[in-house]
Amino acid sequence: MIRIKDLSLSYTPEEKVLNSINCTLLKGKIYGIAGMSGAGKSSLLKIIGGFINQSSGKVFLDGKELPFASQRLIPGHPSIALVPQDFKLDLYHTCIENIRESILNWEPTKRERRIQTLMRLFNLTGIQNTKANVLSGGEQQRLALARALAPKPDWLLLDEPFSHLDSRLRIKLTNIIQKLMTVEEIGVILVSHDAQDMLGSCDLMAFLRKGILSGFEDPFKRYLSLKNMSEASWFGIVNSVKIGDTRYRFRPNFFELSTSGLSLTLTKQYFNGTTFIHYFYTENDEEVVLFYPSVLPEKIVINLKNALEIK
């Protein structure tokens, strides 16, 4: 268990990067933290991982207070592995050498068995003798994960883990992380500027905005919650239309065709490889975007589902 108590970080007296953060995180779950670039996500991971000092507050691991980074002879904590955005690989060493370096103190037979297991798991066997500097961004990312996991940490911290991967590899990487979390009984904290990445990746997620961390909630519940427009827009398009004296917000895929309700006129549509994206206008000349598995007619009427009324 990781517990963070009253954690703050300031680089100047006027601006707090992190402002009195409190949360308790349990192993066996994947926690996601979304926020804009510069919101302090990477700094939070580095404090938890023991690589930079907080200005105030404490971090506890299984009930024991962790020392500040400056109080350790070697930065970091043995039970917490951090994979930063730049991966921090030894670029002129091979894949095998990169992983081996993180567990040099292991008994040789056990060490080599662990290396080969991770090579297979992260699909690195075919490039095991390739130097890291000639790998693609996705290959470097997989290698960085394998290297971080080699010592069997209790916690894995991931800084923008999907930034170098296409959608197919994102799904594969998520499956690997979820499997590792169960098999090796670890906890995972990942941060990203793209909240949509977290919908299928995290058990719980929170937002970091202006130094303040929101509570952790189920990602799908956050997707359906449209009260806070700033947070809702992180998950994609939110339609806002006025019907009578009331304004409604709803997601593009939460509607049903009907004979009575909101009348719409189509202006354009395209297929994105998964669904058809339609652009409609209401009688009040407000744009509405709808997702549908087939092409919709030029004139339709819809009823809204899971809409939020804004009085």
More confident call, 205 vs 169: 205
Determine what percent of the chain falls in helix, strand and coil, rounding each to the nearest 5: 30, 35, 35
- Average pLDDT, stretch 35-49? 93
pLDDT score recorded for residue 239: 96
pLDDT score recorded for residue 172: 80
- Average pLDDT, stretch 186-192? 94
Stated pTM of the model: 0.89
pLDDT band, very low/low/confident/very high, at 81 (cuts 50, 70, 90)? very high
- Sorted by where each begins, the domain ranges of the chain are 2-231, 237-310
d(CA 72, CA 51): 9
CB 202 within 8 A of CB 31: yes
CB 305 within 8 A of CB 254: yes
Which of 3.40.630.30, 3.10.290.20, 3.40.50.300, 3.40.640.10 would CATH assign to domain 2-231? Answer: 3.40.50.300
Element housing 138 (H / E): helix 137-149
d(CA 53, CA 67): 9
User: Helix, strand, or coil here: 150?
Assistant: coil
pLDDT value at 175 more than 90: no
Q: What does the mean pLDDT of the chain come to? A: 92
The amino acid that residue 219 corresponds to is P
pLDDT score recorded for residue 37: 85
pLDDT value at 166 more than 80: no
CB 24 within 8 A of CB 2: yes
* Closest-CA residue to 22 (of 68, 70, 51, 54): 54
pLDDT tens for 43-73 read 999 999 999 999 999 999 999 999 999 999 9
pLDDT tens for 256-305 read 999 999 999 999 999 998 899 999 999 999 999 999 999 999 999 999 98
pLDDT score recorded for residue 301: 97
- Average pLDDT, stretch 11-21? 88
pLDDT tens for 213-238 read 999 999 999 998 999 888 898 889 99
pLDDT value at 21 more than 80: yes
Question: CA 51: distance to chain centroid?
Answer: 21
pLDDT tens for 88-138 read 999 999 999 999 999 999 999 999 999 999 999 888 999 999 999 999 988
pLDDT score recorded for residue 54: 96
> Domain 237-310: which topology?
OB fold (Dihydrolipoamide Acetyltransferase, E2P) (2.40.50)
* Closest-CA residue to 83 (of 185, 168, 191, 172): 191
